[in-house]
Amino acid sequence: MGSRAEPGRAVYAESLVPFLDFGWAPLHALRRLGDKYVLAPRAEYYDLASDPHETRNLVPGRGAPPGEAQKLQRSLQALLEKSADAAAASRADPEARERLESLGYLGGAGPDAGSGAKDPKDMVGISEALIQANGLLASNQPREAIALLEAQLPRSPRDRSLLQTLSKAYLRVQRLEDAERVLREFRAIKPKSDTSLLLAQILILDGRHEEAARLLDEAQALDPKHGGVFIARGDLLARQGRKDAAAAAYETARRVDPYRASGLAEMRLLELRRAAPGGP
């Protein structure tokens, strides 16, 4: 026979997706049988007995929450501060400590307190616009996707998902200067292998080979088994007339990332063989 419910027992929940994917505030929560508290830039507290669908937030704006909500708030903050992983990382790595603070794990009144991070519940429209824009790109309507994304950008100018999707849309219509600008903005917020790779490919096309090579080094350091990095490196070497080195790069792409890179690497190798004196 199962045990009886414990009304006072609280269950912890979190979502870091808003922070990691969009640059918004993360969310942390404690839920009891009859109520729920969410730590966010604008905190939320729900009486689940009378409002099971969480339609009425009982925290008055940014004011003091009700007494029971304050208890959950204090318990949640204490739980975050006592995180063993956070404590170990904070002692060993100042950069890790700063990141944990931004996620709400160490000190402060809440996630990104005072930093101006967007509250995810205010940004639902941007999430919906991203879904719609990706659908437009999939149906070969990049200009319509660009118009939709550009309209959202002022609301969340440091939104990584928005910037990355917009850069891809610009590339689809050959707006290389706009794509480069947006990718540089993304890279300044958070270095990522795909971002450095896309930017390097634009620079290769523009003949800026030295900076492209540095970006490919950066992309490889971020993801050593990204076949696309070695494909781009091969393209750069081929443009510089270093055919043997280019072939070696394509072979590396095929070896380290066979699932994603094999087909493209084989095409590039075939092109090199055809271009060689006496080639087929």
- For residue 1, is pLDDT > 50? no
pLDDT at 62: 56
Range 138-162 average pLDDT: 92
| Residue 182: closest CA among 168, 192, 194, 172 | 168
Cβ count near 157 (within 10 Å): 12
| Residue 48: closest CA among 32, 59, 61, 62 | 32
In our burial notation (b when 16+ CB lie closer than 10 A, e otherwise), range 118-133 reads bbbbebeebbebbeeb
Separation of alpha carbons 253 and 144, rounded Å: 34
- For residue 17, is pLDDT > 90? no
In the three-class reduction of DSSP (H, G, I as helix; E, B as strand; rest coil), residue 13 is classed as strand
Ranges assigned E (strand) in 171-246: none
pLDDT at 94: 54
Per-residue model confidence as pLDDT tens digits over 100-133: 554 454 444 344 433 567 888 888 888 899 999 9
Per-residue model confidence as pLDDT tens digits over 18-35: 887 777 888 999 999 889
